[in-house]
Amino acid sequence: MSIQVKFQTKLDKYSVPDTTLVIPSSSTNSQLEAILKGLLKSTVSSTELSRISFDFLCINKLIRSSLEEHIREKDESLLESIISIEYIEKFQGPQPEDALMHDDWVSACRSLGDSILVASYDTNLHLWNNQGEHIIRLPGHTAPVKSISFIYSDEGEHKFISGSHDQTIFI
């Protein structure tokens, strides 16, 4: 089965003519991208086309299945009309700059100055510096530590408080 579509975008640099195309209803994101890049060949360099990826929206939702399945989930009657497909530039998800590895889940973290205090499901508090060095493991709780906060004393010393699932609070 084939359906009629129009590609639309808010990206002026990657806009294509407002033309109705007939494509297979089984088209997936990768096939839509191949069609779109074919349309862009005359206006965008092949080097740039090889570096860019696109995501596609139909009926205000990202397409994550075949086009036909996507449309049937929303409104099957649309299969008989011209479908607008918006395309947007796809970006990679953020990558962490650094990671402080723990043996168990982290339930909370707080920072103050160059200190990082971490509460963990391993029943401990962990103190790190901002260079990623583990300073000390602070045991005491008998269940996961669920909350922590730094406390300022009158003398300007940094103290902290921790609360655990074991129903205790330590200062």
pLDDT digits (tens, 9 = 90+) for 55-75: 999 999 999 999 999 998 887
The stretch 117-141 carries a mean pLDDT of 92
The string over 86-98, giving b where at least 16 C-beta atoms fall within 10 Å of a residue's C-beta and e elsewhere, is bbeeeeeeeeeee
For domain 2-89, give its CATH number from 1.20.1090.10, 3.90.550.10, 3.10.20.90, 3.30.1360.10.
3.10.20.90
pTM of the model: 0.59
pLDDT digits (tens, 9 = 90+) for 140-158: 999 999 999 988 756 656 7
Instruction: Show me where the domains of the chain are located.
Output: 2-89, 106-170
pLDDT digits (tens, 9 = 90+) for 74-104: 877 777 889 999 999 999 888 877 788 888 9
Lowest average pLDDT, out of 11-15, 34-38, 129-133, goes to 129-133
Closest to 162 (Cα-Cα) out of 108, 105, 102: 108
